Amino acid sequence: MDTLFSGRSIWTMVHGVVLGGGALMALAAALFCLWVMRTADGVTVGAEVASRRLAWLTVFAAVALWLTVILGTYIIFGPYRATPPEGATDLTQYPRALLRSTPDTAWLHSIAMEMKEHIPWVTAMLTTAVAFVAMRSRSKLVSDASLNRMAMTLLGISFMLASVAALLGVFINKVAPLE
Amino acid sequence: MSTSQRVGDEVTNGAALAAFLAGGIGAFALALIVILNEVGIFSAPTLYGPAGGVTGRTAFGTVAWLVAWVVLHRRWKDRQVDPGRVFTVTVILIALAVVLLFPPVWQLL
Q: Which residues in chain B are contacts of A82 at CB distance < 8 A? A: 50
Pick the residue from chain A with its C-alpha nearest to B64. A125
Q: Is pTM, for the whole model, over 0.95? A: no
Any domain includes B10? no
CB contact under 8 A, A122 and B51: no
Dmax over Cα atoms in chain B, in whole Å?
51
Q: What is the ipTM of this complex?
A: 0.92
pLDDT at res. A51: 87
Any domain includes B62? yes
Q: Compare A105 and B3 and report the one with higher pLDDT.
A: A105
pLDDT at res. A41: 64
CB contact under 8 A, A73 and B54: yes
Any domain includes B17? no
For helices A114-136 and A145-175, the axis angle rounded to 10 degrees is 150
Residue A8 · residue A179 · CB < 8 Å: yes
Please choose, from the candidates B108, B93, B107, the residue with its C-alpha nearest in 3D space to the C-alpha of residue B32: B93
A90-100 pLDDT tens trace: 999 999 999 99
- For residues B22 and A136, give the distance between their C-alpha atoms in angstroms, rounded to a whole number: 16
- For residues B38 and B83, give the distance between their C-alpha atoms in angstroms, rounded to a whole number: 34
A123-132 pLDDT tens trace: 999 999 999 9
Please choose, from the candidates B101, B83, B86, the residue with its C-alpha nearest in 3D space to the C-alpha of residue B28: B101
For residue B10, what pLDDT band results from cuts at 50, 70 and 90?
very low
Residue A166 · residue A16 · CB < 8 Å: yes
Please choose, from the candidates A176, A179, A132, A166, the residue with its C-alpha nearest in 3D space to the C-alpha of residue A18: A166
pLDDT at res. A26: 98
Pick from A117, A150, A157: which is nearest to B83 by CB?
A150
Tell me how many domains chain B contains.
1
Any domain includes B100? yes
Q: Which domain holds residue B31?
A: 22-108
Any domain includes B2? no
pLDDT at res. A138: 84
CA distance A40 to chain B (A): 17
Residue A115 · residue B103 · CB < 8 Å: yes
- Residue B70, pLDDT above cutoff 60: yes
Pick the residue from chain B with its C-alpha nearest to A113. B103
- Residue B8, pLDDT above cutoff 50: no
- Residue A7, pLDDT above cutoff 60: yes
Any domain includes B15? no
A13-54 pLDDT tens trace: 999 999 999 999 999 999 999 988 876 565 666 678 888 999
CA distances from A130 to A13, A113, A154, B38, B62 (A): 27, 27, 7, 31, 16
Pick from B55, B87, B103: which is nearest to A150 by CB?
B87
Cα Rg of chain A, angstroms: 20
Q: Where are the domains of chain A?
A: 7-175
